[in-house]
Amino acid sequence: MILPDGYSDVPAGKIAAVVTHLEMTVRPARRGDPPGAWSLRKVEPPALDWYRDLYRRVGEEWLWFTRVGIDDADLAGRIHAPGVELYGLVVDGHDEGLLELDFSVPGECQLLYFGVTAKFIGTGAARFLMNRALEIAWSRDVSRVWVHTCTFDHPSAVAFYQRSCFRPFRRQIEIANDPRLDGTMPRTAARHVPIVEW
Evaluate the CA torsion angle 37, 42, 46, 52 in order and state its sign. Answer: positive
Q: Does residue 195 form part of some domain?
A: no
End-to-end CA separation in angstroms for the chain: 28
Return all residues near 108 (Cβ < 8 A) that are at least 6 apart: 142, 143, 144, 145, 146
Q: What is the C-alpha to C-alpha distance for residues 113 and 189, in angstroms, rounded to an integer?
A: 18
Alpha-carbon distances of 145 from 17, 90, 134, 159, 161, rounded to whole Å: 23, 24, 8, 17, 12
Q: Does residue 69 form part of some domain?
A: yes
Q: Does residue 198 form part of some domain?
A: no
Q: Does residue 137 form part of some domain?
A: yes
pLDDT tops 90 at residue 198: no
Q: What is the C-alpha to C-alpha distance for residues 169 and 42, in angstroms, rounded to an integer?
A: 30
Residue-averaged pLDDT of the chain: 96
In 117-163, beta strands by DSSP E: 144-150
Which domain range does residue 112 map to? 19-28+35-177
Q: If pLDDT is split at 50, 70 and 90, which confidence band does 4 have?
A: confident
Q: Can you give the pTM of this predicted structure?
A: 0.95
Q: Does residue 155 form part of some domain?
A: yes
Q: Does residue 55 form part of some domain?
A: yes
**Per residue in 143-187, pLDDT tens?**
999 999 999 999 999 999 999 999 999 999 999 999 999 999 999
Evaluate the CA torsion angle 41, 130, 32, 106 in order and state its sign. Answer: positive
Q: What is the C-alpha to C-alpha distance for residues 176 and 84, in angstroms, rounded to an integer?
A: 25
Q: Does residue 39 form part of some domain?
A: yes
Q: What is the C-alpha to C-alpha distance for residues 12 and 21, in angstroms, rounded to an integer?
A: 27
Q: Does residue 161 form part of some domain?
A: yes
The pLDDT, as a whole number, for residue 170 is: 98
Domain of 101, CATH number, reads 3.40.630.30
Q: What is the C-alpha to C-alpha distance for residues 81 and 55, in angstroms, rounded to an integer?
A: 17
Strands 108-116 and 144-150: parallel
How many domains does one find in the chain?
Answer: 1
**Per residue in 57-107, pLDDT tens?**
999 999 999 999 899 999 999 999 999 999 999 999 999 999 999 999 999
Q: What is the C-alpha to C-alpha distance for residues 137 and 39, in angstroms, rounded to an integer?
A: 17
